[in-house]
Structure 1
Amino acid sequence: MHLRGKAKRFAVLGLALLVLPITLFGCGKATSSTSSSSAGYTPKKLTVEFVPSSNAGTIEAKAKPLEGLLKKQLGIPVTVSVSTDYNTIVEAMGSKKVDVGFLPPDAYVLAHKQYHDKAILQAERYGVKEPNDQATKQLVNYYRSQILVRKDSGIKSIKDLKGKKIAVQDTTSTAGWIFPAVELLEHGINVNKDGIKTVQVKGHDQGVLSVYNKNTDAAFVFQGARNLVKKDVPNIMSQVVPIYTTGKIPNDTITVRGDMTAKWQKKVAEAFKAIAKTKKGHAIISSVYSHEGYADSKDSNFNIIRDYDKKAEALNK
């Protein structure tokens, strides 16, 4: 009995010694993984991508000098390129091919949901006031959407839109679809019903012109869109007028990969803010995106977008 008990104790001890290295190896592996995760991604070369607001070739050429300005601020090589659409940028950031993306609110919300990407900055533009879309002297990190009609159309309020033809952007456009469509729904008007015919046009300038040329009765555009055609249509302000203005929409973002270290997120944010304050840098961001500067951002700023996206689902019920 004594020998059998002794052998049993040795067997247990041997088993414990056998398990110990495995346990230690497992702990070591877990510690290493945690350390790597907390370290995050540190770029050795920064890739920046955006979608041009107008002619791609011209805009890309204007944006190229941004590479040198960012390199000077960050101390690493920088590549700036254009993409065909925002979903392409979101997927490129998700597959870790792009580090920084210029994303509008809806695209940012998608990028955050799918890949935990982070909005570090929001664009600042001068505010716009009615009736003639004059720029204010105040920089703001939001804009609004408007519903425009011809002054001689007889349409005086949003209730008069029932049975009419409205020029819209695609259904992912915040100002050209989501915000005005949701707010109309809150006033009892469904743009997919109520006898309304929607016509998708490409570009807010085209929305303005469709109303001016009487191709449509109304248009969903961002506030200030009439200024896009003012040079070619001098009387646009008197002939095409707003009948409704939505609530505030968060401005475009500068978004970084979700796994980028906090240190580098801050470095990238400070670099863009510093560049925007220089004469050369301001000229670039102003010509490429009509940005005047950048303000710090946070994810909760975009909860309004998530709320409206959810409400927009009711349009098809």
Structure 2
Amino acid sequence: MARITLKCVVASALLCPLAVTAAHADWRDDYPVVTMSSTAAESNAAVIDRLQPLADYFEEQLGVKMEVQQANDFAAVIQALTAGHIQLARVGGSAYAAAWIDSDGAIEPLVVPAELDGELGYRSVLIVRSDSEYKSLDDLQGKSLAWADPNSTSGYLVPMVSLREDGIEPDEFFGNTVFSGGHDQSVIGVLNGSLDSAFTWTSKGDNTGQLRMMMDRGMLDREDIRVIWESPLIPNPLYAVPGELPEDMKQEITDFFLNLHEERPDLADIAASGRTSGFVLATHEMYQPVLSAVQELRDSRRQR
């Protein structure tokens, strides 16, 4: 099996000199380093620090180094993925859709983490300080709001489309709207009082998502914020790759994630940004509703 071959390679070429097939050797020769990036839900340092144990295990299992990079914003990850400058990216549905559209379908979904109950989705949530007077969306009329990033699914796309479907034009309803630059910044802005409200993301029981990551890092006491609005279910963030990568390379990376929860559940949680029951295969069809929303938003901008 491929996994046995790879362990032989890592252990010693002398012990199993004939174990590596030509196909396997080829992709490792072409990609001695696999570069992974993630959309900016956290600060650069936090992402690299959190994902490094996963990168180390990736190298141990597949025999090639994984280098974790973090871009300044979602757009940079999309551009790097579509240009083939990175080989693996963890992206939300909106970023995946944007990359798929911009590359004319030249990127592919690999895997997506499942929640503890097997559900494959999360929700965009509107948060305020728990000691504030804001109890509902109506209470925020004329107040400040932070979006995370124009390419964020939960921090912009889904809430923007949802509010407009309910007859609310955000720029007119809220007193001031800003892009915070990322989910960390949005939540911190609410906590320190510089923002009245912000959109971010979480799953059932805060098992995964921004709130879970910040609680795990000691940056958030869950009792300090209140959720006053939530979206319909959104497909979980996924891992995607450029479609031009060698097929056997894509398959081995896929298998790495599919086996991760059984072999290293702690690292599966890191890869999922929270608690997961494991990774499953992702399909383009899962993200078609998000892609349609991204296209609709782009079309509406052109018409203005």
What residue in structure 1 maps to residue 97 of structure 2?
109
Aligned match for 2:147, one of 158, 168, 175: 168
Q: What CA distance in whole angstroms lies between the structure 2 residues aligned with 1:71 and 1:159? A: 51
1:84-139, CA deviations, whole angstroms, 9 ceiling, x for partnerless residues?
A: 24443443344434322222222222222233110011133x4xxxxxxxxxx424
Gaps of 5+ in 1: 1-38, 127-136
Percent of residue pairs identical: 21
Structure 1 residue 260 corresponds to structure 2 residue 219: no
Query: Is the alpha carbon distance of 1:189 and 1:258 closer, same or farther for their aligned partners in structure 2, counting shifts above 3 Å?
Result: same
What residue in structure 2 maps to residue 286 of structure 1?
269
Q: Alignment partner of 1:43: what SS?
A: helix
What residue in structure 2 maps to residue 275 of structure 1?
260
Query: In angstroms, what is the RMSD of aligned CA positions?
Result: 3.2
Does the 8 Å contact 1:149/1:240 carry over to 2?
Answer: yes
Q: Give the alignment of 1:34-45 within 5 angstroms.
A: 43-44=27-28, 45=31
Range with bigger deviation, 110-119 or 197-206: 197-206
- Residue identity opposite 1:99 in structure 2: Q
TM-score (normalised: structure 2): 0.71
C-alpha displacement of 1:299: 0.6
C-alpha displacement of 1:159: 3.3
C-alpha displacement of 1:241: 1.8
Q: What CA distance in whole angstroms lies between the structure 2 residues aligned with 1:242 and 1:61? A: 29
Does the 8 Å contact 2:58/2:66 carry over to 1?
Answer: no
- Residue identity opposite 1:69 in structure 2: Y
Q: What CA distance in whole angstroms lies between the structure 2 residues aligned with 1:151 and 1:233? A: 12
- Residue identity opposite 2:95 in structure 1: A
C-alpha displacement of 1:269: 0.7
Q: What CA distance in whole angstroms lies between the structure 2 residues aligned with 1:185 and 1:301? A: 23
Q: What CA distance in whole angstroms lies between the structure 2 residues aligned with 1:151 and 1:56? A: 28
Aligned match for 2:58, one of 49, 61, 70: 70
TM-score (normalised: structure 1): 0.69
Query: Is the alpha carbon distance of 1:63 and 1:176 closer, same or farther for their aligned partners in structure 2, counting shifts above 3 Å?
Result: closer
What residue in structure 1 maps to residue 195 of structure 2?
216
Does the 8 Å contact 2:37/2:86 carry over to 1?
Answer: no
Q: What CA distance in whole angstroms lies between the structure 1 residues aligned with 2:49 and 2:162? A: 39
What residue in structure 2 maps to residue 144 of structure 1?
123
Query: Is the alpha carbon distance of 1:68 and 1:220 closer, same or farther for their aligned partners in structure 2, counting shifts above 3 Å?
Result: closer
Q: What CA distance in whole angstroms lies between the structure 1 residues aligned with 2:244 and 2:154? A: 30
Query: Is the alpha carbon distance of 1:192 and 1:59 closer, same or farther for their aligned partners in structure 2, counting shifts above 3 Å?
Result: closer
What residue in structure 2 maps to residue 303 of structure 1?
288
Range with bigger deviation, 139-148 or 256-265: 256-265
Q: What CA distance in whole angstroms lies between the structure 2 residues aligned with 1:110 and 1:138? A: 29
Aligned match for 1:118, one of 105, 108, 111: 108
- Residue identity opposite 1:259 in structure 2: E
Q: Alignment partner of 2:113: what SS?
A: strand
C-alpha displacement of 1:266: 2.6
- Residue identity opposite 1:286 in structure 2: D
What residue in structure 2 maps to residue 47 of structure 1?
34
C-alpha displacement of 1:79: 3.0
Structure 1 residue 82 corresponds to structure 2 residue 66: no
Structure 1 residue 181 corresponds to structure 2 residue 166: no
- Residue identity opposite 2:151 in structure 1: T
Count residues with an aligned counterpart: 261
C-alpha displacement of 1:295: 1.2
Gaps of 5+ in 2: 1-22
Does the 8 Å contact 1:106/1:174 carry over to 2?
Answer: yes
Range with bigger deviation, 82-91 or 268-277: 82-91
C-alpha displacement of 1:226: 4.5
Does the 8 Å contact 1:141/1:295 carry over to 2?
Answer: no
- Residue identity opposite 2:110 in structure 1: I
Does the 8 Å contact 1:156/1:243 carry over to 2?
Answer: yes
- Residue identity opposite 2:183 in structure 1: H
- Residue identity opposite 1:79 in structure 2: M
Q: Alignment partner of 2:27: what SS?
A: coil
Does the 8 Å contact 2:211/2:220 carry over to 1?
Answer: no
Query: Is the alpha carbon distance of 1:163 and 1:87 closer, same or farther for their aligned partners in structure 2, counting shifts above 3 Å?
Result: closer
What residue in structure 2 maps to residue 197 of structure 1?
176
- Residue identity opposite 1:297 in structure 2: A
